[in-house]
Structure 1
Amino acid sequence: MTQLGLGLDLSTKRTRKREFLDEMTRVVPWQKLIALIEPHYPKGRTGRPPFALATMLRIHFMQQWFSLSDPAMEEALHDIPLYREFALLDAGMTRLPDESTILRFRHLLEEHQLSARMLATVNELLEAKGLMLKVGSAVDATLIAAPNSTKKPGTRDPEMKQTQKGGSWHFGMKAHIGVDAESGLVHTVKCTSANVHDVTVAHALLHGKETVAFADAGYVGIGKRGETGAVEWHVAMRLSKRRKLDRSQRLDRIYDEIERLKAGVRAKVEHPFRVLKCQFGYVKARYRGLAKNTAQIETQFALVNLWMARRKLTAQ
């Protein structure tokens, strides 16, 4: 027996995913990013015409937001009407971008190093809106795991390395970021193999205009290296040393309060990592080689900035 329909219009339900895409539609500077990519995008004077640049850019961003591979993105476009709607693919289209088309667009961005320029474009917008003050910076790094299969010789990515943290060994890469100490928005991204020590990259995470910088205990001694100029560093005290503070002593209470204040600023560097890993689901390197993964992470942090600033951008 055929069941009677309930007359529901499921295509317009305000799901969380639809709300998310609507928010990002409003805050992403589409025209500026399209103008950045357009000189490098194929014109399609012969053969089958390419898909619109706006469509491919939206598809590329959906891959980052929902952690989709090229084949998974192709299938999602066929299965999910909301994704086709966001990508500006109307019902009258006779074809959809396949995984090869999606792959070629990503390679185009990598070839012309456009991901770093997209991050810069987004940050120029945020700075113009008064959301990035650039008086101080906070720096940190996070480990990104990589596939470590050794079933066949040479299957490991030679650019990924091992490092030890918390008594455990990790194989992969590190994403180092510098953020605005006031807003927590990312202004600089550097990627290295996992065995590179955080302190050796710290000088490259500063934009040059800040007067103070904050970091955790992994950066102890950074102020003595002379690579960061006249920046005043506020590095957290090592936990073992802080535990020895006697709070009944006035001087130790002052030291403890200083550490608490430093931690309040330094914690802002953790917010972009939370969005990257928890909101966007990026927990593992998807590609082979540092260059490709760096391009993806730069794009991710451009989108992280827009996500973190979305309410202030839409309120203006």
Structure 2
Amino acid sequence: MSDASQWHQWAKRVIEIEAQAVHNLHTFINDQFVAACETLLACKGKVVVMGMGKSGHIGNKIAATLASTGTPAFFVHPGEASHGDLGMLAPQDVVIAISNSGEAHEILTLMPVIKRLGIPVIAMTGKPESSMAKLARHHLCITVAEEACPLGLAPTSSTTATLVMGDALAVSLLQARGFTVDDFALSHPGGALGRKLLLRVSDLMHSGERLPQVKEQVTISEALLEISAKGLGMTAVVDDAGRLSGIFTDGDLRRVLDARVDIHSTAIGEVMSRHPVTIASHVLAAEALQLMESRKINGLITLDVDGKPEGALNMMDMLKAGVL
């Protein structure tokens, strides 16, 4: 039975071998890489990624990364392509074909048809003299000195190098396109990242009848009824013209009770917090969250151009929306 030191040794050896394989990729960032990037950048259709076996799994990830960073792409299984899926390709597309050996029969079978369509091929192989490398317009070398597998059989270092080369392509294209955070959010609307990058205060705030607000003259007890009814743990306080005068929160209530103030006869305007923190409704919800955290407050009021409350939100709204 293996002891702990052997487990550590084996694992560290794998990491060392794969880290070296990635480091060696610097050698292959050359004119061929630049030409491949320019071909991909000029593509008017889709980038179609192909690969068999482990190369196919890596190809799937590369296609997904390209698609999420501004380069429309999808993966096509070469075996399925031979039986009809090749119809997904169009003359304005570009193919990225992946094979460590460069001799994947399923991909080589497709090459004459791809060439006939006039589609440029970018081959990613570990063998520059392979059939795929020679047939491709551009060749990206992913040669590794050794696999991390001690048997030299399981694709390990080679698949890692392929994945990193794919990331190098995707990120280089992202920068060439001037792809922004907002662009990224548009392709990730359903996840936590999309919610943080797309949701604005106006999407979350309570407005209209749901907005808690009272006039300065009402008593504290009446203001508490408004706070309870609207469920935000606070209420905006407005003057006779409807402009924001202050805010009253659960925290303010605790201070009032500690001071033994008569809540039934004292006007809310006498105990409210003046000059509350406010925010514009068009601001990203993530920015509103940062503001609340930095000021150590649980809620915010939004104002219209006349200084009148138009909405309110609190930490619970952030939590429900997945921003927090």
TM over 0.5: no
TM-score, normalising length: structure 2:
0.22
Answer with 1 or 2: which has the greater Rg.
Answer: 2
Relative contact order (C-alpha < 8 Å, sep 6+): which is higher?
A: 1
TM-score, normalising length: structure 1:
0.23
